[in-house]
Chains A and B, each alone.
Chain A
Amino acid sequence: MTAGDRLSGYVDGLERVTGRVPYVLNMSRPGMLHAAILRSPYPHARILSIDPGPAFKIPGVVTVLTREDLERGLVAVPRFGSIIRDQPIVSMEKAHYAGAPVAAVAATDRETAKEAARLIEVQYAELPAVTDIEAAIAPGAPVVHETLDIRTKAFPDVVPDQSSGTNNCNHFRLRRGDIDAGFAESELVVEGIYRMPGTQHVPMETHVVIAEPSVNGSLTVWAATQTPYLVRAQLAEIFDLPESRVRVIVPTLGSGYGAKTYPKLEALVAALAMKAGAPVKLVLDRDEEFLTIRKHDALIKIKTGARRDGTLLARKVELWWDAGAYADVSPRFAMFGGFYAPGPYRIPNVMVDSHAVYTNKPPAGAFRGYAAPEVAMAYETHLEMVAEQLGIDPIELRSRNILRAGDRYATGEVMEDLHFPELLDDVARALASAPERGEPLLPHARRGKGAAAVMMATITPSTSAAVIKINGDGSVHVLSSSVEMGQGSRTTLSRIAADALTVPLDRVAIVDPDTDVTPFDLTSSASRGTFMMGCAVLAAADDAKDQLLGSAAELLEAHAADLELRDGGVFVKKTSRGAPFSDIIRSVRAGTIVGRGTFTTKGGLTPGTGQGIASAQWHPCTAGVEVEVDTETGAVRILKIHVNTYAGKLINRTSTELQLEGAAIFGLGAVMMEEMVYDNGRLLNPSLADYMIPSFLDVPAAFTTTIIEDHDEHAVPHGLGENGVGPIPAAVAAAVYDAVGVRLNEWPLTPEKVLRALRQVER
């Protein structure tokens, strides 16, 4: 073990602090060319003609990819999309958004490729565009896609319901009880409309792809992707190759946050590489990153009914998600937003309609928090309003209505392992104490506190598989397609394997995702890695253990049932008679012991009613925030944040804290400062000089976390990478209301919005 290893809780800590993390960004292949993309300046336009000829005037340009290549047999299928096949590799008859790839150039270096791309001549005929939700759903609105090619068997949990001839991409319905009766019985009804803008993930490492065709027609892709298997499946379909001839390799990511899930630019780079007959590398510039994938704008209309005693009786929610020009994973996103909409509460009568809507804007897809922060803003503000009108403390009202183990959720599933009472108590206590800094209050400043609760789900059903190899010397390889993107999955999975096999951590090595080698994993997202892949690794370790015990029986002259693993060897229980793995493997001439494990979850929701099992595991999280509002400028200063969650079996406390803190900071960005701003469909701020993300000074000094863990030996890890995002915006909004009595229903809560609201109240 090196000095660095001893210091770090991470198996790869040393490479992190020495700048040696092997991002795909750092890679090059012999003979590699560089790509640049020409993008549509119009949000919606018919492409009349494309002339790549002028591009070839620049020395060093090797080839240009246009729709002509797609139409002429370079690919079997010109469009892709995990759920709806609506995304062209490069634009075909139409450009669907300002920024859509229209052509791609491969040249000897990036600057040459970019310059050449600028010379390609394209003639457009502009079409009327729909650039927001209201425009897109208006009767007679221009349609982004005239017909839709829907994969009915894409994922077991998502069955898109849409109507052709409209911009409807998916309509998810949840029905429980009798909504009209519920409101009729309610003694108090509140309504509200909430709007959130589109935001971008801003992964520090942008999207990167290297595609290399081989002479025998197979394809290797190194990509910054969170979903290597889904990318492989898509490429195999596009190029009509068996999956055994398509290889996707992911060393690690410079973060993802959902931006790098599902196929994005891999097909474009692969097509360019196929045409060039050489490896091609694409690295997106920061502005291009904004134009590639984002989070949906949201419009939420919510109506809540309650009894005088504070019991929630009915909730009707309509949600619209601006999916942009391509569906990507929006049908599932709309579904999650839909079944999150009731909130983590016992409500007998629920009606939810959640729509993903096409617009002529960059495509929207998975994003850390996955609709929970938006819907929490709506349902938690409603809870605050009900609490205020009934004169009940909001945290107290939450406690009365919040789901407890054994309760049924709005989907009908029985909830377990929520721990909300404990979490709410914890956040109440955290808020009761003053922030660390007891500065005197200036005359124009007002302070307030607020809290919020969310409950996150994970994609269900889903599958993760792992393989464990025990090498001849007893060291261990873990083969897993979980993508390390800073959440510490390499470390977590190494620890799980090390503990299960009683081997020291530094004798375990992770084999990074490589679809030729590491078995199937659905995705590294949805906060599922530690749980799903952790369980798969455990299953693989069990399988390896069974083989070891079976092999050791003869050597140790004992029954397998009397044997156990201890200290990297097999021992007869309660004795010191045993042998290290290496001896056992040698004794049966196995060479290697290969253990495999697959972990699957069951569930799914019935279309039309949204009843069934939405999630194999639910992840609770609450947050408390204290703010100070400057009533003269509307500026909101965050004084204190406390966020807590339930982790189940805790594998790695440090990475858990980092994930919780980091997620909360994501939520802070969304509510305080992040917004993609357009002018008629053209993005105005695709730069970190104009799109703000939280800095050190935007995060309060008083920032604490509580992690509840389960020490039981049968405890299971709970996902939590996204948990912290959800409650923050709603908690800030509640705190602002507490401070100055204005309820804001739009993000970000800029000083201008606060001041306008304050002035309204004054009138």
Chain B
Amino acid sequence: MGKTREELYKEREGRVLDAIALKKPDRVPVVLETSYFPARYTGINFDVAWNDYERWLEITKRTIEDFGPDMVHTSSYTPGNVFEILDMKTLKWPGHGLGPEFSHQYVEGEYMKVDEYDLLIDDPSDFLLRIIVPRSYGAMEPFNRLPPLPSLLIGHYGIAVLAELLATPPISSAIETLQRVGREMAALRPKLRAFIGEIDRLGFPQYATASLHAPFDVISDRFRGMKGSMLDMYRKPDELLAAIDRLLPIQVKSGMIMAKAIGNTRVFVPLHRGSAEFMSDKQFRTFYWPTLKKLILAFVDAGLTPCVFFEGDYTARLEYLLELPQGKVLAQLDTTDIFKAKKVLKDHLCIRGNVPSSLLQVGTVQQVKDYCQKLIDEVGNDGGFIMSPRSSIDEVRPENLMAMVEFTKDYGVYR
């Protein structure tokens, strides 16, 4: 007597939700972030995720069904042609700036200059439209010719001047490019929307679809670059802090809008520069943690479940996590000492993690099982734990990943 896909969906989601709420499900749940693994698994190049919707959906579904996790974090189809038209400078993707067998990567740079903090702080929308967008997309460069927008939009005559500017050749051609992209997107929209539904219908709930960032990371990843943001801690600390404060409500609002639009209360918050590899405890509590904490609390207040990926080593920062509300946040760990984390976070936060990529990629099935056993025994013994790889599974050996899933389903049963 098999269960229906709907029943399985509910069962799987319930397992994960129980773990997040620090309850003991029937067994340790398994979450997979599939990323480019479907391509690796089926023996094709990664560029399929950017240029062949049907194929990408098909192999993503096949991978999920074959591995059968309780929850899946998929990479939706990304239309590479759209970003090509926009001449996106900030990203290289398989088949565009990188070999078709490699995963996409951000091109970090100093997209915002050191003396532009005032522009960001005074008016983020204007700053984004006239400064960041023109530098991030070649096709949008003409937008840097516009004057500050508020100067045009108060009073009755300004709108006519704005229209005049928008009709000038370089800007009007940028607008035509945008419209072309818009038409491409509109044509794709039914498919992009269908992707999530297709996975749902298989009976597999999805982890989180909206992705939001710690305000410091927005500055460091997207605007100033790592070097710029870190030198600013010394040379421009007040401006850096003011900019971080300014970005907080923007990130909060974006998260709420996206979560609502997608209809998933779990929001993904991947952290980049807050770990002990990057900054000191003092730098963390000055520039990173206060606004990150406010972001997480705002999501919890709005009824959302922040799923925070603590990339890097947070072993020395575990005490901070006790400031987050009990059972309302998922802490996904990377190289943090997960066994120590359990001791600190026990009865407070659910932990997701952390089978090393090195084991999954170059280890043996037995080594994977041994590590999973240790995780289940020591971290998962009384609930509040979700089994998952430590980081990307793009290059892992399928048999090792399968061993992780199967072993957990078998050995991870709570008796």
A binds B: no
State the B residues within 8 Å of A (CB): none
- Which residues of A line the B interface, CB within 8 A? none
